[in-house]
Every structure is written in structure tokens, then in C-alpha cells.
Amino acid sequence: MGNTDHKVVWITGASSGIGEALTYELNDQKYKIIISARRSKELERVCQRCNYPEMVKILPLDLSKFDTLPQKALKAIDCFGKIDILVNNAGVSQRSLIATTDFEVYKNLIDINYLGTVALSKTLLAHFIGNASGHYVTITSLMGKFGSPYRSGYCGAKHALHGFFDVMRMEHEKDGIYVTLVCPGFVRTNVAKNALTADGSPQLLDDQATRNGLDPTFVAKKIVAAMVKRKFEVYVGGKEVKGVYLKRFFPRLLHKVVLKSQVK
């Protein structure tokens, strides 16, 4: 990756969880960072907690507002004169059954988790091509590799990210552009509390699997290691990672295992 002092990383969803932990990890390694999320005050808090806050710029954005993203990208580039790496981390989860979920909830999940990420990534594509260098690090989920009850829309959006960015890698490898897909399992964040329920309201409750998940700092270190090595795809989690291989070789067995666990 070369001298990190000259690398500029733009992180979405940086106001909490994995994005916040990743900000601290990259800041400690002297990367120049632009942090984005909807909540400006939380971004300011994250910036103030960094050891080198002068190397962090704040750029609030809402991924669901597609028409604002081209201008946001221009502002991000202006922060340090370029972008080397875009970390697509922003997103929202879901906890509701298909039969009772409002269709509007599915639209929101696709708009934020998939289309917003695609739209933002496309705004930087010409910049990356012009620089003959660029790197998309997209945080999907193990739910982008296999499914689980109560997460139908979330799984669908995360699966879609894999399809899109696999093609991005194929089409633009010749332009010096890299793609790394990171698939975390359970991580101790507010993802369950913020998850959308059947009517679109947040769940507001944590779950045991999330509470017992990995430390976000540990996950951030794994993401940076995968980014530096320019890995195609990496899985970060506990025993839930086995689901990727069960899906590939024993899909019927995975079906039974997931139904038996019935994690909500």
C-alpha cells in the first residue's frame, strides 16, 4: 500500500460500530481520513477521540439521498485533494418476518444498503480511473453469503452487493482499481437495536448473538489487514463463518442448522 501518510480513506457509517473502530485504527496508522454518516454530532465525537484529529475531516451524508452524492464526492475529494480508498460501511439491518413486513421496509433496505452504496461508488469511479488507482472496501455481511430468518431484505441487499462489486472488480482491474469484500458475522455494535422491524420502526433491543459478538476493534484490524493485502473477500466472525462453507458444499445441512438455531 505504500506510505500511509499519503493514503486518503473515505469511510461511510463512521459514527458508530465498525466504522468508528475502523476510523481509530486507520488514524493510529497515520492515514488521512474522511468520515461520513448522517449524525454530525457523533462524527464530531469520533473525530475528537482520534489521536490525530487533524488528519480527520467530517462530511455528513445520507446514502438514501442519491441526488446529493455526486456533490458529496466532490467535497470529499477536496478535503485532501484525492481519494485512494472508499470504505462502504454504512447500512441498516432488519428483524422481521416476510409475511408481516411492509414493502416500504424492503425499499428502504435496498436504497440504503445497496443502491446508496452503488451510487456513491459510481461517483468515485471516474476519479479512480483518472488516477489509475483506487480501492473499494465494501463491508457486506456473512448474510451476503447465506440467509437467515428475520433478515430477508437485509440478506437480499447484501447478496446484491457481492454481485455488483464482483463485476466492478472484473471490469476495472485493468484501471488499477481493487475491490475487497468484507463479510463480518456477529459484532458488538448497535446493529440489532437499529434494525428495522415489520413497519419500519427500529427494534430498539439488542440480541444475545450480537452482545456475544466480536469486539469492533478486532474486526477493524482484520479489515485493515485485508485492505492492505488487497484481498478479494474475507470472512470475520466466530462459528457462524462455517455457514459460508456449508452453503457452498452442504446447502441442505445449512438450512437445517439455521432453522434449528433460529437466531432473531
Closest CA relative to residue 68, chosen from 116, 26, 103, 104: 116
Task: Give the chain's length.
Answer: 264
- Closest of 113, 254, 252, 251 to residue 195, by C-alpha: 113
CA distances from 91 to 8, 14, 116, 136, 158 (A): 22, 11, 9, 16, 10
> 193, exposed or middle or buried, with CB in 10 Å at 0-12, 13-18, 19+?
middle
DSSP designation for 241: G
If we measure between CA atoms, which residue out of 79, 203, 223 comes closest to residue 150? Answer: 203
Residue 154 bears catalytic tag:
yes
* SS3 category, 56: strand
Pairing state between β 134-139 and 233-236: unpaired
CB 151 within 8 A of CB 207: no
Query: Catalytic one among 154, 178, 235, 245?
Result: 154
| Nine cell digits for residue 148 | 437467515
Residue 117: closest CA among 83, 60, 158:
158
Nearest residue to 139 (alpha-carbon basis) of 169, 100, 109, 180: 180
Query: For residues 214 and 82, what is the distance between their CA atoms, to the nearest angstrom?
Result: 33
- Which positions are annotated as active-site residues? 154
